[in-house]
Structure 1
């Protein structure tokens, strides 16, 4: 419906230009939005105010010219008024709003989506990228679901989306994992060997050791480290990645590409990026970094913990482009730091030709993002192509107590455990219900209640109620006729303010999806659904004495069309977020 108003304005402006009423050397980027007060009509347009300066006329004069010269090819406008400084408030004819039900039902599962890959833009979303040193724990969960939902929305907006997982399979952490695995392997043969601080005590390492033992027997029990170490590390990474992929699959999360950090080193790309910076004259050798400001580091920060590694080496001039100090990319002995590999990885992303790159990262990586942006600028790459979506941690609680996450202590609460306990739909809903930068508690007790207090239950029950009404109509011998046989006379019976308001809101799903995709904010789709569901529950309760299914066959079909369209709208929106739309749910106790 919104696009029809855009088309109407475009036709009118073209006619006014042809008539010489307006110069229209360039049409401004005006908006068509629902007015804050429904009494002001269905859509508010601000084009007249934006034309004031280029046209040299008062906005109300321009607005009145648009009203007078309105080109309404479809005959859809019931009334248009000039309000305030020059807003155009459009009220559409009821039959235009009623036709939304037919349009939704005709679109079916594609409602709210643009044609696949229709924008011609390629987008890469990198998310999860958990270290292959252990399972996917609940500390990764929000970023996993957020990255998946953003990918789904970008696809729905018509982009060609690649989902990527960056495997950090290089450096001290994986080396420690390999040594831990070999110790566990030796323990399986009865050797008394203890883990030291910093090694991985989790049960999952013992499970990997059993797998390795089955594969190689005692072949590496007495072998020199040069023989067992590379293999132990590779096996540990392999098995952990299998477990990570299995957990993500259980959450209905997939990736198209698994990109190895080690492959960057093997291909010489980490060394090459350092050399490229040197050629560009944006590095220098020094004992310490140049800073834009005097910075006091937190004692808990990684920079503070590894201060000794930052004293001396090759520095990159990141402070020239928004970072608070220059960064070491090569240590004094010439070996690269983690940042150097990350810079090489992001350059490699650019080299693959994506129009937009999105990194979904934990909020603890906030300090890392300006370094990457600066590093890309210093390579002559466009920083506007790179976005970071920073995700705050969520506190998981049970009985009012926090469920701790501690991979290193061996007390892992895994994503898979969470899914087994509450289900993937509950996880998705809770992790997507707020902006990425908002902190909140995930109450394991609340989300398992079948009541209105449980937002997930209330959300899915909206779709189930629609399905139940349609099923009941069929059982009573008055099944919904479907979009093909639906008549305008039947739709014309949808005249209640609540019915028209729900239809208008349904028509907005494509716009909500496009906006949520552009802003990387899936919660807008959730809010849209919640508002619709709340409106429908209120409507259903208010008109129990004038029910949806009645002896009036024509009105019944009109209302069933509303219910079917709402069901399809919710189903489409749920699918965009990866949430199931159940056909049946037990009614909450308060409604029985």
Structure 2
């Protein structure tokens, strides 16, 4: 239950009863009315701008209109106080009984509290990671993996029908380089001294086992073949080995995809699917024969000084038109992007999200143009760019990995600090901003370590429930028992926690709509902070403790509050892909 949506509906219903609204109802638009938390919590529980946005079409002073609306709202039994601030903001304080009933609902719903249906009817595809299958995943892939996975979880929780997808870039020139690099390791496995790895090949030791497997399977036979014959065999082996490594790395990070889409399938059967995609664009009037002027600065790889087949992408939002076919008759990388998007659109997705690294900023407009051209505006495409992650240890930059040759691997980071620390901290900053990741700070047990602080709040909730069993040996309240007891929750500090819990549905919906999962991580930290603060007050004021062995009924009521806090923490942590421990040592 989203209390802000609830009171938006109530406020609009109240507005409909006002005479000055009735007189000009056809001229008044309620669409700009918002209901949200006040900037200063001391002003109330919810606030609305209704008077501010309606005063002009109604031809009245916003402050005077706010007074009229405030008077009308006082008739709502769930509102204890209404005040007008500034030029016409209306602040509303809710009744204790309202919070008590809402807490009962939270207890009954458990980890389902906060679920939304704002995405109902929308089929979304979230493509993330999609690293080239040429080696182990590095820490740069890590952030996109976590952001994409958490966003997909968040959208599912908000009612979207979501598919998590990985696009395997297994058709480009980098795969030939990979195969030749593996073949070198194969020769090494046969006993040949290969010397230093030639420039242009992949130097990492992770290819040694692949070469050894080839030697065990084929013996010297590959060595006696021409490159034309051994290259496809080695290529298949190398891709399978790299994808197995990548899947293992993703598993270590608790990242799971529903679909692994191979780029090579687009090029199969004479690139039939790419050809069909271009034909479709041609039929829609988006393809023509023409020449492109040389772009400013460094020439891109796909620019050719000749007449060629072009996508008229400037008519659908791009900066320049894009070539689809190379001079040798093969298709450009961009043509494969067109075919891939068409495949998604044909699978029924009306929303496609690409989570890419910051170095892919130049792809945004061209991909958006593809979406408009292929779907004719029927599908939405969003590109989320994840900025760089800088690794530190006690403030000092972390050196490169020996295993990979030139970067720190994702697995090394996960193995050192644990996947929960990695996942939560990758979300604890907006993905469009750079992130500093310090190995020492993400493992320290303090309030300054967000993942510890949030997980500790959940563990502390579980500890309170165990303490209650010790205080009352026969105590085993059901969820229904806890929900029925909420009338005893009336301490202002306890009600503040209920109010913080009540923000959860709004956070879920706003984060899903904005496609910003970091909002959830921030909220969980704030909720944990509220819970820890109240727990600490209980040390100084025994009457505030969650378990009072002198008052069984009050203890049961407060256990209901603890149950609700634990449920929201567990729910939110699950969306981030982070565990909710019952104990922490």
Regarding TM over 0.5, the answer is yes
- Provide the residue aligned with 1:253 in structure 2: 255
State yes or no: 1:90 paired with 2:86: no
Comparing 243-252 and 60-69, the one that deviates more = 60-69
Matches of residues 436-447 of structure 1 in structure 2 within 5 Å?
Answer: 436-447=431-442
| Aligned partners of 1:28 and 1:51 also within 8 Å | no
| Aligned partners of 2:205 and 2:404 also within 8 Å | no
CA offsets, 1:31-63, max 9 Å, x none? 111111223221112223333344444444544
State yes or no: 1:269 paired with 2:273: yes
Shift of 1:236: 0.6
State yes or no: 1:532 paired with 2:530: no
Secondary structure at 2:115's aligned position in 1? coil
Residues 405 and 159 of structure 1, relative CA distance in 2, 3 Å threshold: farther
Residue in structure 2 matching 1:31, options 16, 29, 34: 34
- Provide the residue aligned with 1:589 in structure 2: none
User: How far apart are the structure 1 equivalents of 2:385 and 2:191?
Assistant: 46
Comparing 267-276 and 178-187, the one that deviates more = 267-276
State yes or no: 1:456 paired with 2:451: yes
User: How far apart are the structure 2 equivalents of 1:400 and 1:311?
Assistant: 50
CA offsets, 1:73-93, max 9 Å, x none? 7x3121223443333322111
Matches of residues 216-227 of structure 1 in structure 2 within 5 Å?
Answer: 216-227=218-229
| Aligned partners of 2:312 and 2:321 also within 8 Å | yes
Higher helix share: 2
Secondary structure at 2:392's aligned position in 1? strand
| Aligned partners of 1:16 and 1:22 also within 8 Å | no
Residues 34 and 480 of structure 1, relative CA distance in 2, 3 Å threshold: farther
Shift of 1:528: 0.9
Matches of residues 186-205 of structure 1 in structure 2 within 5 Å?
Answer: 186-193=187-194, 195-205=197-207
User: How far apart are the structure 1 equivalents of 2:286 and 2:37?
Assistant: 53
User: How far apart are the structure 2 equivalents of 1:124 and 1:512?
Assistant: 22
Secondary structure at 2:207's aligned position in 1? helix
- Provide the residue aligned with 1:206 in structure 2: 208
Shift of 1:130: 0.6
- Provide the residue aligned with 1:76 in structure 2: 78
Comparing 202-211 and 227-236, the one that deviates more = 202-211
- Provide the residue aligned with 1:8 in structure 2: 10
Shift of 1:231: 1.3
Residues 55 and 442 of structure 1, relative CA distance in 2, 3 Å threshold: same
User: How far apart are the structure 2 equivalents of 1:138 and 1:311?
Assistant: 39
- Provide the residue aligned with 1:570 in structure 2: 569
Residues 449 and 61 of structure 1, relative CA distance in 2, 3 Å threshold: closer
Shift of 1:165: 0.5
CA offsets, 1:336-390, max 9 Å, x none? 2222212221232223221111000001000121122234444463287010100
| Aligned partners of 1:201 and 1:408 also within 8 Å | no
Q: How many residues align?
A: 572
Secondary structure at 2:324's aligned position in 1? strand
Ranges in structure 2 where 5+ consecutive residues have no aligned partner:
none
User: How far apart are the structure 2 equivalents of 1:68 and 1:21?
Assistant: 19
| Aligned partners of 1:289 and 1:325 also within 8 Å | no
Residue in structure 2 matching 1:334, options 310, 321, 329: 329
User: How far apart are the structure 1 equivalents of 2:553 and 2:103?
Assistant: 15
- Provide the residue aligned with 1:362 in structure 2: 357
| Aligned partners of 1:34 and 1:43 also within 8 Å | yes
- Provide the residue aligned with 2:244 in structure 1: 242
User: How far apart are the structure 2 equivalents of 1:434 and 1:87?
Assistant: 31
Secondary structure at 1:220's aligned position in 2? helix
Shift of 1:564: 2.0
Shift of 1:127: 0.3
Shift of 1:420: 1.3
- Provide the residue aligned with 1:428 in structure 2: 423
User: How far apart are the structure 2 equivalents of 1:350 and 1:17?
Assistant: 49
Matches of residues 370-519 of structure 1 in structure 2 within 5 Å?
Answer: 370-379=365-374, 381-382=376-377, 385-404=380-399, 410-477=405-472, 479=475, 481-486=477-482, 490-519=485-514
User: How far apart are the structure 1 equivalents of 2:396 and 2:470?
Assistant: 47
User: How far apart are the structure 1 equivalents of 2:499 and 2:286?
Assistant: 58
CA offsets, 1:216-245, max 9 Å, x none? 344423123332211110111111111111
Shift of 1:259: 0.9
Residue in structure 2 matching 1:108, options 107, 110, 123: 110
Secondary structure at 2:92's aligned position in 1? strand
User: How far apart are the structure 1 equivalents of 2:305 and 2:395?
Assistant: 45
User: How far apart are the structure 2 equivalents of 1:553 and 1:545?
Assistant: 20
User: How far apart are the structure 2 equivalents of 1:221 and 1:401?
Assistant: 46
- Provide the residue aligned with 2:47 in structure 1: 44
- Provide the residue aligned with 1:134 in structure 2: 135
Shift of 1:520: 1.1
Ranges in structure 1 where 5+ consecutive residues have no aligned partner:
298-302, 587-592
TM-score normalised per structure 1: 0.89
| Aligned partners of 2:138 and 2:409 also within 8 Å | yes
User: How far apart are the structure 1 equivalents of 2:551 and 2:372?
Assistant: 68
Shift of 1:258: 0.9
TM-score normalised per structure 2: 0.90
Shift of 1:522: 1.0
- Provide the residue aligned with 1:156 in structure 2: 157
Comparing 461-470 and 18-27, the one that deviates more = 18-27
- Provide the residue aligned with 1:580 in structure 2: 579
User: How far apart are the structure 1 equivalents of 2:71 and 2:495?
Assistant: 27
- Provide the residue aligned with 1:522 in structure 2: 517
| Aligned partners of 2:100 and 2:487 also within 8 Å | yes
Shift of 1:448: 2.1
Matches of residues 279-318 of structure 1 in structure 2 within 5 Å?
Answer: 280=285, 282-286=287-291, 288-289=292-293, 295-297=296-298, 303=299, 306=301, 310-312=304-306, 314=308, 315-318=310-313
User: How far apart are the structure 1 equivalents of 2:315 and 2:29?
Assistant: 37
Shift of 1:574: 0.9
User: How far apart are the structure 1 equivalents of 2:563 and 2:152?
Assistant: 28
| Aligned partners of 1:154 and 1:517 also within 8 Å | yes
